[in-house]
Structure 1
Amino acid sequence: MTDEQKFILWLEGRLTAHGFTPGAIDGVFDDTAKAALTAFQRARGISPSGKADVETVAALRLSSSRVSPADRDDIPDRDRPGAADARGGPWPLQRDCTKIFGDPQTQVPDRLVMVRMPWDCRAAWNPALRITRLRLHEKVADSAERCLDRASRTFDSDARHRLGLDLSGGSYAKRRMRGGSSWSMHAYGIAIDWDPQRNALRTHAPEARLSHDDARRWWEIWEDEGWVSLGRARDFDWMHVQAARI
């Protein structure tokens, strides 16, 4: 692998961590990757050149887990272990994820697989970018595929659009928890986000779109497989579902 390919892989990984997925992380700087980089630059107030200049690289190096002081005061302490989830189920507690899924730095990347999306889905930051697959840990992939298949049979295209299930906020991303220093569940490849604009980190019920009654069956499909909605459990981050107990 050339130095240029290594840099592009890093660039794609950092864009994904910051919420601007370039599609496949493959070391190819194509039009989709350039569009993601340009969108990132605009969001950070950088001249949208579509080039990885010094200012852009410096911004990409910044932590993708930082949140504003207002957000920090309005969400649970992300580094404080929660009470043991009495429901049990197939998935570990958050604090035990490294034991089960591997180290996010050295082991998880080799254990990721692709899970197909059974309906038309687009990147939330760029509706022109079609998301056909999600990158998830091999241990949760079959479960996620069952949930998605059930959801595709339960909700027609109009219902999925109303709920925002056709807008992907991302799956695997090697980053820390927003507002914390522990690894995000995304870094293990065991979490998926949906429609982040209407279900932002500190948007609570009933403002969060996926907190509405018509989304209940959506969450029950995941919960039947042991997945956890942070919105349903803690009333924040309603975009998020994870294969780990709190």
Structure 2
Amino acid sequence: MQVSDIQMLLADVGWYTGAIDGDAGPKTWAAVSRAEQLQGTNYRDAPSRWSKRRRLIGAGQAALTALGHEPGVIDGRTGHNTAEALTAWRSAKAGVSAAVERSPVAGSSSHPKQDTFPRQRDMADFYGEAGGPQCTAGKVDLAYPMVIAWNKRQTIQRFSCHEKLAQPLTDIFRHALQHYGQADIERLQLNVFGGCFNFRKKRGGSTLSTHAYGAAVDLNPEQNQLRWGADRAQFARREYEPFWNIVMAHGGTPAGYAWGKDWMHFQFARL
């Protein structure tokens, strides 16, 4: 996120009245302080402890939040949720659609175990209300440490998911390690965690995301971006087929197989 983007966002929400010049001067910093004051409860922690760059990005995230574009928790780091929120805002300003087509791919790979889980339209019946306590009650104990996609200095050994999915998700990563080994897990970047529970709408859509139920996982979003097809996405390569077979054998639906895009993403719901 460039300073000029941040200035435009702050101006759009009414917190900044200076020039869009890419120079973070006194007026920009006054707007940053206003963002922190008005959106303070949405910040991950106290921005007073952040670097200047993180404070600027945090202010841009605060403006996106105020404008209804759902960048996620305001943390001052430009991850894929912030990038997609920025795309939605830019598209709206230009008067064009940011929608992502999610039509089923004919003849795509599947597994009978996927039938254990609901279709997207029936998720509330199966999982309960989106955003409820059950959506983060499950704990996935990882077979190998993962790095956070938007802050690779941070590692995790566990993450939260829907209570019904703790076991299948734990088994997916355990079996992936058994198949590939630690060195190939790292080489293939299957250890880059992009998130699970996130109460928001689908990116490029109007209905709730499967992430809002804690029923989806993203991996290595930088190399498998939402709108990329198999011609560009890292996870569409043949060496990832065993991983996707493991996912499907435990009931997960890979987005890349189901609708041909968003290769970072797999979910426990069919189209």
Deviation at 1:234, TM superposition (A): 1.3
Match of 2:175 in 1: 150
The higher relative CO (CA closer than 8 Å, separation ≥ 6) is in: 1
Seq. identity, %: 26
Alignment of 1:11 with 2:43, yes or no, is yes
Q: Which residue of 1 aligns with 2:141?
A: 116
Alpha-carbon distance in structure 1 between the residues aligned to 2:251 and 2:164:
13
Q: Which amino acid aligns with 1:47?
A: L
Partner of 1:174: 199
Stretches of structure 2 that go unaligned for 5 or more consecutive residues are: 1-38, 71-83, 105-109
Q: Distance in 2 between matches of 1:133 and 1:57?
A: 28
Q: Is the 8 A contact 1:199 1:239 kept in 2?
A: yes
Greater mean alpha carbon deviation, residues 61-70 or residues 174-183: 61-70
Question: Using the alignment, how far apart are the partners of 2:148 and 2:176 within structure 1?
Answer: 19
**Is the partner of 1:131 in helix, strand or coil?**
strand
Q: 2:166 aligns with which of 126, 129, 141?
A: 141
Taking the aligned partners of 1:96 and 1:171, their CA distance within structure 2 comes to: 19
Please tell me whether the aligned partners of residues 191 and 240 of structure 1 are also in contact (alpha carbons under 8 angstroms): yes
- Structure 2 equivalent of residue 202 of structure 1: 227
Describe the shift of the 1:235–1:110 C-alpha distance in structure 2 as closer, same or farther (beyond 3 A): closer
Task: Please report the TM-score for the alignment, with normalisation by the length of structure 1.
Answer: 0.72
Q: CA deviation at 1:56?
A: 5.4
Instruction: Note the residue ranges of structure 1 that are not aligned, 5 or more in a row.
Output: 1-6, 13-28
Confirm or deny: 8 A CA contact 2:134 2:163 kept in the other structure. Answer: no
CA contact (8 A) 1:108 1:189 kept: no
1:192 aligns with 2:198: no
- For 2:135 and 2:245, the matched residues in 1 are separated by 30
- Given that 1:101 and 1:108 are in contact with CA atoms closer than 8 Å, whether structure 2 keeps it comes out as no
| Structure with greater helix percent | 2
Q: Distance in 1 between matches of 2:212 and 2:220?
A: 19
1:240 and 2:265 matched: yes
The letter of the residue matching 1:188 is Y
The farther-off stretch of 215-224 and 123-132 is 123-132
TM-align CA RMSD: 3.2
Amino acid aligned to 2:65 = L
CA distances 1:27-65 after superposition (whole Å, capped 9, x unpaired): xx389xx66xx69x75xxx625x7xx7x75333343227
Q: Which has the higher Rg, Structure 1 or Structure 2?
A: 2
Structure 2 length normalisation: TM-score? Answer: 0.66
